[in-house]
């Protein structure tokens, strides 16, 4: 998110609103990196790689039509409901660690959500085209609105609100996917009871990053509304 100026004299006083969220974001990123690296070095007793764990879960849930593919990058794992493809980062795809099976199971959780018509996932998916447009243009309109026209600022805030709504809807989607993942991992014998606790640590750390992102969005929206009110005074 771009830093914003007010009146040409540097950072405006509303910037202080974002400080707690920024600190939380830094901590969340540290926590997820720490947990994933720690448990990437711990081998799952079952010996399943991320790919094998994903295939086991998908088949057990009647989702044999979902493909599992490797993708480059670190923690670039995701499920694409449009093509029914589950993509796992290379470390997750080919390694038999706690992190690998936990992350793979989480993405399977999204595939299960899709198959069961989980409403928050459907709502989030329907917002993707709008969010892509809004995220590209909202800050341009906000900055232009602060410099020139209040009407542009209003439109920018409305568009930014859509991205914040998307972040909020993402929270139940991610938490539910992790809940489903932990159930599948233990019921299918991919992890034992102790490893389930370790898997939860990985997934909880990842979920925390979504909480931090949502908080940043909410506080940024509040800040914009305050700036909007200041222009009217």
Q: Residue 204: which of 226, 174, 232 has the closest Cα?
A: 174
Tell me how far apart the alpha carbons of residues 133 and 2 are, in angstroms, rounded to a whole number. Answer: 17
Eight-state DSSP code of residue 5:
B
d(CA 141, CA 129): 18
Secondary structure of residue 89 in the 3-state scheme:
strand
| Catalytic pick among 51, 90, 107, 174 | 107
Respond yes or no: is residue 107 known to be catalytic.
yes
Q: Looking at residue 15, what DSSP letter applies?
A: G
Bridge partners of 80, per DSSP, are 85
The tokens for 195 are 């490893």
Whether the Cβ atoms of residue 118 and residue 176 lie closer than 8 Å to each other: yes
Active site amino acids:
107
């Amino acid at each position: 998110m771009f830093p914003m100026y007010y009146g040409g004299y540097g950072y405006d006083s509303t910037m202080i609103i974002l400080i707690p969220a920024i600190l939380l974001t830094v901590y969340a990123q540290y926590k997820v990196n720490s947990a994933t690296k720690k448990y990437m070095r711990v081998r799952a007793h079952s010996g399943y790689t991320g790919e094998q764990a994903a295939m086991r879960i998908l088949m057990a849930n009647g989702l044999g039509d979902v493909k599992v593919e490797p993708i480059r990058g670190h923690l670039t794992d995701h499920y694409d409901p449009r093509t029914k493809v589950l993509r796992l980062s290379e470390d997750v795809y080919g390694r038999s660690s706690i992190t690998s099976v936990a992350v793979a199971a989480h993405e399977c959780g999204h595939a299960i959500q899709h198959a069961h018509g989980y409403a928050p996932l459907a709502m989030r998916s329907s917002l993707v085209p709008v969010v892509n447009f809004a995220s590209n243009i909202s800050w341009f309109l906000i900055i232009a609105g602060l410099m020139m026209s209040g009407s542009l600022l209003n439109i920018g805030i409305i568009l930014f609100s859509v991205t914040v709504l998307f972040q909020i809807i993402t929270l139940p989607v991610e938490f539910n996917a992790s809940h489903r993942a932990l159930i599948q991992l233990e019921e299918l014998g991919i992890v034992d009871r102790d490893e389930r606790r370790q898997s939860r640590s990985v997934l909880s750390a990842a979920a925390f990053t979504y909480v931090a992102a949502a908080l940043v969005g909410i506080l940024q929206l509040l800040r914009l509304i305050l700036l909007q009110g200041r222009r009217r005074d």
